[in-house]
């Protein structure tokens, strides 16, 4: 029988957040972390704690969530990956699994994260794929929205775009890039990469910038909202289902 060594495993995860109550485990509710820990516990025959790079809210999806867990096992990472993907009965896929440095932590070692937010911009909605984009029927001014994205790029206090309920020492974050582009004639994508994000920050930014796209506020008014450091000054929270965690970056 092979000797079981303790390893720290780093995993890359994709999931459809539609049916989940977010990433973080909850009692009696399906979550991504909870499902992963349950299946990994069966495969490895021990209690597993999965640490994610951060919490995604209920309904938010991920192309590239990163997590790590410690386990005593002689199973190689590829067998663990295949085992989880064959056993898990939820829309979760482990794309990569490897042994990493003992001290690696998916949350504390992350240097930046990138999110994508998708909008369907046409008169009629869609029957297929509606759970992956926010439908806005009125025409959006992409130039006005990009001006707002530019105004949110840099180091700022993002209190105006933070919902309450998230512990943090500071509301200052650095946004490295923030763009809005056409995917095709009817679909738009916001792409934002930052050192970190406050609670609902991406969705609140998008919800406010869409007001500029609808010509309800100007880019100058967006700057005033940014500087106000007051959530009541900003726009609505964009729906969760348009948001994807694209990637997590490490040094």
**DSSP state, residue 237:** P
Q: Helix (H, G, I), strand (E, B), or coil: what is residue 223?
A: helix
Other beta carbons within 10 angstroms of residue 105's beta carbon come to 15
* Per-residue burial over 4-30, b = 16 or more CB atoms within 10 Å of its CB, e = otherwise: eeebbbbbbbbbbbeebbbbebeeeee
Burial of 175 from C-beta contacts in 10 A (0-12 / 13-18 / 19+): buried
The string of DSSP codes covering 119-168 is: EEESSS--SSSGGGSEEE-S---HHHHHHHHHHTSEEEE-GGG--SS---
Q: Helix (H, G, I), strand (E, B), or coil: what is residue 39?
A: helix
> Does the annotation mark 150 as catalytic?
no
The CA distance from 69 to 75, in Å, is 14
Set 28, 57, 109, 181: catalytic member: 57
| Contacts with 82 (C-beta within 8 Å, 6 or more apart), sequence order | none
Which residues are identified as catalytic? 57
């Amino acid at each position: 029988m092979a000797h079981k060594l303790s390893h720290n495993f780093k995993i890359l995860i994709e999931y459809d957040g539609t049916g989940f109550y977010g990433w973080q485990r909850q009692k009696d509710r399906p979550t991504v972390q909870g499902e992963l820990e349950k299946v990994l516990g069966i495969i490895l025959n021990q209690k597993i704690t999965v640490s994610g790079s951060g919490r995604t809210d209920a309904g938010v999806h991920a192309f590239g969530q990163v997590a790590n867990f410690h386990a005593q096992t002689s199973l190689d990472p590829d067998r663990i990956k295949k085992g989880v993907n064959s056993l898990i009965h939820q829309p979760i896929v482990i794309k990569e699994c490897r042994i990493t440095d003992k001290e690696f932590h998916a949350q504390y070692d992350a240097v930046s994260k990138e999110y994508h937010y998708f909008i369907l911009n046409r008169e009629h909605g869609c029957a297929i794929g509606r759970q992956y984009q926010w439908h806005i029927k009125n025409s959006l001014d992409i130039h006005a929205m990009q001006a707002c994205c530019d105004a949110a790029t840099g180091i700022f206090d993002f209190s105006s775009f933070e919902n309450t309920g998230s512990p943090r020492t500071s509301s200052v974050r650095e946004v490295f890039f923030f763009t809005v582009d056409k995917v095709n004639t009817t679909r738009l994508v916001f792409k934002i990469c930052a050192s970190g994000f406050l609670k609902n920050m991406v969705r609140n930014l998008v919800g406010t910038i869409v007001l500029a796209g609808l010509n309800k506020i100007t880019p100058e008014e967006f700057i005033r909202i940014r500087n106000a450091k007051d959530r009541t000054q900003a726009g609505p929270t964009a729906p969760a289902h348009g948001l994807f965690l694209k990637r997590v970056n490490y040094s």
